[in-house]
Amino acid sequence: MVTIDQPSATVYFDGACPVCSREIEMYRRQPGAGAVHWVDVARCEAPALGAGLTRAAAMARLHVRRADGSLVNGALAFAELWRALPRWAWAGRLLGGGVGLWLLETGYRFFLLARRSWRRA
């Protein structure tokens, strides 16, 4: 059971990337986003990253810590984020496994290559 003190997920995102920031802001305006804890890894203190996550890893890929404490990244992190947002839950279910997850991860890796030129220092 998720309580007020326990977010449904914690999203670790690169707030220094303008494309990433715009996308995260769109998610933060969605119904259900108040149950998600949002951490800008470009600006947070190290303890905000929690166990098992370094700033370098968090800056390299989107990470989500599930309510049970497990940490996922990349395409699976997007699927977890989407499942936490009622309007996006269908995408999380559709793309969160099998071929859908593989396609999403492949696309995300291409995005990460392009992102290098968008990211602010």
Provide the pLDDT for residue 120. 55
Q: Buried b / exposed e across 17-34, counting CB within 10 Å, b at 16+?
A: beebbeebeebeebeebe
Per-residue pLDDT of 18-39, as tens digits, reads 899 999 999 999 999 999 999 9
pTM for the predicted model, two decimal places: 0.89
Q: How confident is the model at residue 7 (pLDDT cuts 50, 70, 90)?
A: confident
**Interval 56-88: pLDDT, tens:** 999 999 999 999 999 999 999 999 999 999 999
pLDDT grade for 1, boundaries at 50, 70 and 90: very low
Helices and strands, counts by H and E, the chain: 5, 4
Does residue 20 contact residue 111 with C-beta atoms inside 8 Å?
no
- Average pLDDT, rounded, for the chain: 91
